[in-house]
């Protein structure tokens, strides 16, 4: 008689996966296996759906006592960005690399992730207020420190330098992100804590995330 039960045993990581993920994360094999085991305990199917990913992000916000409400549009774009194989799921590797980025990644790599959110949509426009809200939410979500005096002044400087008419028109995300990514001075302006330290290197803080 054919068994009606399916095994829930998690698949083992391949030698190639272990080598690649330990190199990218600088974790030991044992630490990687712990992540893998915990992932399959939480997600026995071996992946997260977009709804599960939203719940996970909301848990992160609650752990950090963040008041910013994630928009469905932003979460959808982030999910698509992380879904490297475009199968509409986040597998272990995709989920793991996202967590390594927000826990141990450099501020530069985190900011690049933010600017890649809408890179596939060249027709995406924001008001100045919406743009600042998006950046503020993403900085909080991925553990990217904000300047001591917030993002308002830095964003205003960037918009003035790039000649956006911020009072009467919407801002093209593609144009805005292209300007910042291609101008090291503007990119750095969003990362430094103190304006007096402009052009200095920035450091990152490791915050442990559990799921």
pLDDT tens-digit series, residues 57-86: 998 888 877 776 778 888 999 999 999 999
Q: Which pLDDT belongs to residue 168?
A: 60
pLDDT value at 105 more than 90:
yes
Per-residue pLDDT of 19-70, as tens digits, reads: 999 999 999 999 999 999 999 999 999 999 999 999 999 988 888 777 767 7
- Helix, strand, coil percent values for the chain (each to nearest 5): 55, 5, 40
DSSP H or E stretch at residue 126: strand 125-126
- Which of 40, 25, 74, 35 minimizes the C-alpha distance to 54? 74
Q: Read off the CATH number of the domain in which 95 is found.
A: 1.10.238.10
Structural domain including 80 reads: 15-197
Q: Tens digits of per-residue pLDDT, 118-151?
A: 876 778 899 989 999 999 999 998 999 988 888 9
Pseudo-torsion of CA 85, 86, 87, 93, nearest 10°?
A: 40
Please indicate, yes or no, if residue 7 is contained in any of the structural domains. Answer: no
- Nearest-angstrom CA–CA distance, 27 and 18: 10
Cα–Cα distance between 139 and 144 in angstroms, integer?
5
The three-point CA angle 68-72-74 to 5° equals: 75
pTM to 2 decimals? 0.81
Q: Report helix, strand or coil for 186.
A: helix
Q: Into how many domains does the chain fold?
A: 1
Is residue 189 in a domain?
yes
- Asked whether the predicted pLDDT for residue 194 surpasses 90, the reply is no
């Amino acid at each position: 008689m054919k068994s009606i039960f399916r095994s829930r045993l998690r698949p083992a990581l391949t030698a190639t996966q272990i080598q690649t993920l330990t190199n990218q994360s600088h974790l030991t094999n044992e630490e990687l296996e712990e992540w893998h085991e915990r992932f399959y305990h939480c997600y026995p199917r071996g992946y997260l759906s977009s709804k599960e990913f939203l719940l996970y992000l909301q848990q992160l916000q609650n752990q950090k006592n963040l008041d910013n409400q994630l928009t469905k549009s932003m979460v959808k774009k982030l999910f698509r960005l992380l879904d490297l194989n475009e199968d509409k799921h986040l597998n272990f590797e995709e989920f793991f690399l996202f967590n390594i980025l927000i826990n141990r990644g450099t501020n530069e790599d985190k900011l690049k992730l933010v600017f890649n959110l809408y890179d596939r949509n060249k027709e995406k426009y924001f008001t100045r207020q919406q743009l600042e809200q998006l950046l503020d939410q993403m900085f909080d979500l991925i553990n990217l420190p904000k300047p001591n005096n917030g993002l308002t002044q830095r964003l205003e400087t960037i918009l003035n330098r790039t000649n956006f008419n911020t009072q009467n028109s919407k801002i093209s995300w593609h144009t805005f992100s292209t300007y910042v990514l291609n101008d090291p001075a503007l990119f750095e302006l969003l990362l430094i804590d103190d304006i007096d330290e402009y052009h200095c290197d920035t450091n990152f803080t490791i915050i442990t995330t559990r799921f």
